[in-house]
């Protein structure tokens, strides 16, 4: 009898443990989640159009590119510091006191012995040399990067160690280490299989006079055509990074898979930028804001960036969503703006541009249109940079002053039709402007506000929704009057040359506003060439004052990111955003 009781008791506990532990096991491994694999499904608000690192324009394309290609050094997401990625240690920097590059510097790098390309070929100094040639080739369309490395004159590879190379500059540009070290390196044997660039010395391509003489060489054009072709934008994406292109379906997905036996695994414990956790990263374009929210609710995506701010706040209040996703709102290195074509006769007077800026109550925009998830932008530098001029106050809405400014600039309603006008080159010109933007909830709200408030001061604005790629091209070519836009900062000192120097105020250039003159150019050149921080700080503040006075853009705000990340991942989130290759499955 006693034996029977023990047997029944043991049976009861055995059944209980099976049921209890079975349910625990299910909760631990799945939590009833839709996906439990090591694939990161990433929602993008626009499609990827290229994986060529020197043609790409959007930050979404950069997300994919950073998983495929590497730089000698890159930014650590936690510390925001520039640390080795493809090299053994920070470069050895020396001042050059004699010879052809006197007054410049040399930077010596050594690539990891283990580093190889997709096909197993070693990454060597000649690959960096080739990449520099591709950038300085005027036919590749990569000239916008040259402004960052324009002091580079030559690259020499060590004859006894092909992993060792030295970069020579002809001046002590204050960001030489950062800009030279942060270039995506391309494999020469893949991107120039015919050896077209071998015949050109980098010293000749970096010398303006010699480069001009070489410009007509058909080999440069032949290489440029190939480099810019779909072959190296879509078909071939060969890098030294942990991921490779597996599938690309327009409008649906771009799939990257982790390489088998990737070389960086051996060094990942010592070098954090070589850690790579997801097996697969799938980029899914979902332009519509409501569709993106639906994809989160449905667990169709694991990572969603830039969610509509109002929808984001509503989403993170839903109990069933909070059980599946974590939410993050880090500040960003981004600012939004309304670009104004400064060379357009209607916008050439800074008083007109200031008047337009005074039509917007930006604090209200942030509160009502962006759910408070942003801070005002006063100019093109992040508000936490040490040289920010805090005496420059955000422009307040002031319609009376805006009308006064227009009148001072000669814009009055001479014919009583409600729109101000002015005689230009003998013809009466009505102040009618077109505003280009890509559709989103925020963009629509802001566009209507801009239109309605501008009308109150006699400016008629036509709203035109365009595809993001078309918008980018029109900004680059100066083919617009008013246009929406955004720009990024870096966690290093700013160099305003690319976006604000008149060298970039050309078709295809990045000075979208077509802003600048000899005075602003001189300040920018001074920032580039000043070796000491105190002098640069003074010049930075002078430049901010010029931008404030000239108002080439309407500076809107710097947003906080709105990110949803599936709870099965441990993310690495910072002001740089999220490191996709560091998304690690929870144990």
- Cβ(560)–Cβ(377) under 8 Å? no
Q: Which tens digits make up the pLDDT trace of 528-566?
A: 888 789 999 999 999 999 999 999 999 999 999 999 999
Give 234-247 pLDDT, tens digit per residue.
999 999 999 999 99
How much is the pTM?
Answer: 0.84
Mean pLDDT value of segment 508-518 = 93
Is pLDDT at 21 greater than 70 in this prediction? no
Three-class SS of 216-229: CCHHHHHHHHHHHC
Query: Does pLDDT of 185 surpass 90?
Result: yes
Residue-wise burial string across 404-434, b where 16 or more C-beta atoms lie within 10 A, e elsewhere? ebbbebebeeeeeeeebbbeeeeeeebbebe
Cβ(97)–Cβ(283) below 8 Å: no
Give me the DSSP letters along 530-554: --SHHHHHHHHHHHHHHHHHH--EE
Could you read off the pLDDT of 114-152 as tens digits, one per residue? 999 999 999 999 999 999 999 999 999 787 788 789 899
Give residue-wise pLDDT tens across range 73-103.
Answer: 999 988 999 999 999 999 999 999 999 999 9
Euclidean distance between CA atoms 344 and 220, whole angstroms: 35
- CA 355 – CA 398 distance, rounded (Å): 8
pLDDT at 130: 98
Q: Which residues, listed in sequence order, are joined to residue 558 by a DSSP beta bridge?
A: 375
Residues 6+ apart with CB under 8 A from 109: 72, 87, 91, 125, 128, 164, 165, 166, 167, 181
Check residue 143 and give its pLDDT. Answer: 75
pLDDT of residue 529: 86
Averaged pLDDT score across all residues of the chain: 92
Q: Which of 178-187, 448-457, 503-512, 544-553 has the lowest mean pLDDT?
A: 503-512
Write the DSSP symbol of residue 95.
E
Name every residue whose Cβ is closer than 8 Å to that of residue 324 and which is 6 or more positions away in sequence: 31, 33, 299, 566, 567
In terms of C-beta density within 10 A (0-12 exposed, 13-18 middle, 19 or more buried), how is residue 360 classed? Answer: buried
CA distance 553 to 339: 5
Higher-confidence position of 113 and 14: 113
> Which domains can be identified in the chain, with CATH numbers?
70-232 (3.90.76.10), 243-330+561-585 (3.40.190.10), 334-559 (3.10.105.10)
pLDDT of amino acid 1:
40
- The residue ranking higher by pLDDT, 30 or 409, is 409
């Amino acid at each position: 009898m006693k034996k029977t009781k023990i047997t029944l008791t043991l049976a009861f506990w055995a059944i209980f443990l099976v049921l209890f532990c079975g349910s625990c096991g299910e909760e631990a491994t799945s939590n009833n989640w839709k996906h439990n694999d090591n694939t990161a499904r990433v929602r993008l608000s626009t499609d990827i159009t290229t994986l060529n690192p020197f043609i790409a324009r959007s930050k979404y394309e950069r997300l994919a590119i950073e998983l495929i290609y590497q730089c000698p050094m890159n930014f650590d997401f936690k510390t925001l510091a520039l640390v080795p990625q493809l090299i053994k240690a920070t470069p050895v920097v020396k001042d050059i006191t004699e010879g052809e590059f006197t007054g410049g510097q040399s930077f010596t790098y050594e690539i990891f012995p283990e580093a190889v390309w997709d096909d197993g070929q070693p990454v060597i100094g000649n690959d960096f040399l080739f990449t520099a040639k591709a950038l300085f080739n005027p036919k590749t369309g990569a000239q916008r990067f040259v402004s960052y490395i324009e002091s580079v004159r030559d690259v020499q590879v060590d004859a006894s160690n092909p992993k060792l190379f030295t970069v020579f500059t002809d001046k002590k540009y204050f960001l030489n280490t950062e800009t030279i070290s942060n270039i995506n390196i391309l494999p020469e044997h893949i991107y120039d299989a015919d050896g077209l660039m071998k015949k050109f010395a980098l010293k000749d391509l970096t010398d303006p006079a010699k480069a001009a003489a070489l410009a007509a060489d058909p080999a440069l054009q032949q290489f440029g055509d190939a480099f810019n072709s779909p072959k190296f934008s879509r078909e071939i994406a060969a890098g030294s990074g942990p991921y490779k292109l597996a599938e690309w379906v327009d409008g649906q997905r771009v799939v990257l898979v982790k390489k088998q036996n990737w070389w960086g695994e051996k060094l990942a414990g010592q070098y954090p930028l070589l850690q790579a956790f997801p097996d697969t990263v799938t980029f899914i374009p979902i332009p519509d804001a409501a569709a993106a929210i639906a994809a989160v609710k449905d667990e169709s995506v694991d990572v969603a960036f830039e969610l509509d701010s109002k929808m984001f706040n509503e989403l993170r209040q839903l109990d069933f969503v909070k059980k599946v996703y974590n939410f993050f709102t880090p500040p960003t290195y981004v600012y939004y703006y309304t670009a104004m074509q400064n060379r357009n006769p209607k916008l050439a007077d800074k008083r007109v541009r200031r008047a337009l800026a005074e039509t917007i109550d930006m604090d209200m925009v942030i509160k009502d249109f962006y759910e408070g998830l942003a801070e005002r932008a006063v100019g093109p530098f992040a508000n936490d940079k040490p040289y920010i001029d805090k005496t420059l106050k955000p422009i307040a809405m002031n319609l009376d002053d805006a009308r006064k400014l227009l009148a001072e600039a000669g814009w009055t309603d001479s014919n009583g039709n409600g729109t101000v006008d002015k005689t230009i080159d003998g013809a009466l010109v009505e102040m009618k402007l077109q505003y280009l933007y890509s559709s989103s909830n925020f963009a629509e709200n802001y566009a209507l506000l801009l239109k309605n408030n501008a009308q109150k001061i006699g400016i008629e604005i036509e709203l035109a929704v365009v595809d993001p790629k078309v918008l980018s091209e029109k900004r680059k070519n100066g083919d617009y009057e008013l246009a929406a836009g955004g720009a990024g900062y870096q966690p290093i000192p700013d160099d305003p040359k690319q976006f604000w120097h008149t060298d970039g105020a050309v078709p295809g250039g990045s000075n979208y506003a077509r802003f600048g003159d000899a005075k602003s150019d001189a300040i920018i050149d001074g920032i580039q060439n000043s070796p000491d921080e105190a002098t640069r700080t003074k010049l930075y503040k002078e430049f901010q004052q010029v931008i404030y006075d000239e108002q080439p853009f309407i500076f809107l705000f710097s947003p906080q990111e709105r990110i949803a990340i599936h709870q099965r991942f441990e993310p690495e989130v910072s002001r740089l955003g999220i490191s996709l290759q560091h998304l690690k499955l929870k144990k």
